[in-house]
């Protein structure tokens, strides 16, 4: 593929000019989002954001992330104007850093702490704590409001979290996660018992159409492969060691933690109908696993 950048008149930017990049595809290529990520040194998520904002076109028409590029096609990317730096209110809380150098940090995020600012949590997040600590953070790529955040953990999930201190470290860490070179291990307490000591589950994961805060098995979702192994058995629950290749959350009905047990109490969402679920033998895993529950 060959690219040729050209300036085009537009709103904002210095002198009212915005930058367009046009790439000419000279060989049969893969999906558009992967092509852009490779050509612009972006993460797949950042490339997807440009496509979702209809900033990537061919022959005057906006393209979809799944579009397959053909030889001779010209793809134009309208790069957004650089937004002014955003300030974050410092917030003070104790954090346990497992590793830290000039490029990145690895910290043990406690349960109850939101990772980045969002409605309802603008000033009491991990980002605000890092700002209050004086930690240098990356710009967060194309995702506004998430400086230094390479990946996330749910508010009620504790565990190890990577933080990038520079844009270069952010790109490389995001690329490693995208290539699945970073292994994530979770512990989950699930209601019921697995029939076998370990199970492998492959199913497409997407947002639950009835509850956008949860994920579910759905046709057309993102491919996910999950390996679960029983670590300990209790009267009505199993403690599982879980590793998976998808970054998606499966369910809020499991009490999870990256690399360690999150809680000894019954997972949230199971209190109302625990006895019924015990008889049925349900668990937090997707439907393909339920045939293995006794």
Longest dimension (CA), the chain: 69
In 3D, which of 239, 230, 226, 236 has the Cα closest to residue 285?
A: 226
Contact 234, 177 (CB under 8 A): no
CATH of domain 96-178: 3.30.2350.10
pLDDT for residue 82 = 57
Q: Are residues 294 and 196 in contact, defined by beta-carbon separation less than 8 angstroms?
A: no
* Catalytic residue IDs: 154
Architecture field, domain 2-78: Roll (3.10)
Return the pLDDT at 86.
61
Per-residue tens of pLDDT for the chain, all 294 residues = 444 444 444 443 334 445 788 888 876 667 888 888 778 767 677 788 889 889 999 988 999 888 888 888 899 998 876 554 567 888 989 999 999 999 999 999 999 999 988 767 888 999 999 999 999 999 876 566 789 999 989 898 899 999 999 999 999 999 998 888 888 899 999 999 999 999 998 989 888 888 877 888 888 888 888 899 999 999 999 999 998 754 434 433 333 333 333 333 333 433 333 333 333 333 444 433 333 333
CATH 3.10.290.10 in the chain: give the residue spans.
Answer: 2-78
- When computed from its CA atoms, the radius of gyration of the chain, rounded to whole angstroms, is 22
Regarding pTM above 0.75, the answer is no
Residue 93 Rama label (left phi>0; alpha psi -120 to 50; beta)? beta
CA atoms of 67 and 154, how far apart (whole Å):
32
Residues 6+ apart with CB under 8 A from 54: 62
**Residues whose CB is less than 8 angstroms from the CB of residue 232 and which lie 6 or more positions away in sequence, other chains included:** 238, 239
Domain with CATH 3.30.2350.10 in the chain: 96-178
CA 57/CA 61 separation, integer angstroms: 5
Q: How many CA within 13 A on the CB side of residue 73?
A: 20
């Amino acid at each position: 593929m060959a690219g040729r950048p050209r300036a085009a008149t537009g709103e904002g930017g210095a002198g009212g000019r915005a930058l367009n990049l046009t790439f000419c595809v000279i060989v049969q290529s893969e999906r558009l989002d992967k092509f852009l990520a490779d050509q612009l040194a972006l993460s797949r998520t950042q490339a997807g954001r440009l496509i979702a904002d209809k900033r990537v076109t061919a022959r005057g028409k906006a393209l979809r992330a799944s579009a397959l590029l053909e030889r001779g096609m010209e793809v134009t990317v309208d790069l957004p104007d650089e937004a002014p730096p955003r300030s974050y209110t410092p917030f003070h809380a104790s954090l346990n850093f497992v590793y830290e150098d000039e490029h990145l940090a690895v910290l043990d995020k406690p349960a109850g702490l939101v990772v980045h600012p969002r409605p309802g949590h603008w000033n009491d997040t991990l980002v605000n704590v890092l700002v209050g600590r004086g930690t240098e953070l990356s710009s967060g790529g194309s995702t506004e409001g998430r400086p230094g955040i390479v990946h996330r953990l749910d508010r009620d999930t504790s565990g190890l979290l990577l933080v990038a201190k520079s844009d270069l470290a952010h790109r490389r860490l995001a690329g490693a996660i995208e290539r699945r070179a970073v292994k994530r291990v979770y512990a989950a307490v699930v209601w019921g018992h697995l029939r076998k000591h370990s199970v492998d589950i492959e199913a497409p994961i997407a947002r639950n159409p009835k509850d956008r805060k949860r994920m579910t098995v759905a046709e057309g979702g993102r491919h996910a492969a999950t390996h679960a192994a029983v670590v300990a058995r209790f009267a009505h629950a199993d403690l599982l060691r879980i590793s998976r290749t998808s970054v998606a959350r499966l369910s809020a009905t499991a009490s999870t933690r990256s690399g360690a047990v999150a809680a000894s109490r019954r997972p949230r969402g199971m209190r109302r109908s625990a006895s019924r679920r015990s008889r049925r033998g349900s668990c937090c895993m997707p439907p393909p696993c339920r045939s293995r529950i006794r």
